[in-house]
Amino acid sequence: MSKSIPLNGTKNGVISVKKINEPYGSGSGTVASVGISLSGDAENPEWKVHIPLKNLDEVIKALSELK
């Protein structure tokens, strides 16, 4: 699963969201990867964070509370 979202306030920027299995090698846990690319290159973001899937519900809740 992969999704690209236009980054508000930029001309070409995107937020990329994807699921990555074993990002750190065999046996490592699956993560949600959230990247920011100001140039619009979702495959090579300038910034990214990996959130373990086991933490995803809590992170979604915290982000929702920011609204």
For 46, the enclosing helix (H) or strand (E) is none
Closest residue by Cα to residue 46 from 1, 9, 12 = 12
Tokens representing 12 are: 């070409």
pLDDT band of 1, cuts 50, 70, 90:
confident
- Give the pLDDT score at 61: 98
- Interatomic CA distance for residues 37 and 22, integer angstroms: 23
pTM of the full structure: 0.88
Per-residue exposure over 23-62, b if at least 16 CB sit within 10 Å of its own CB, e if not: eeeeeeeebbbbbbbeeeebeebeeeeeeeeeeeeeeeee
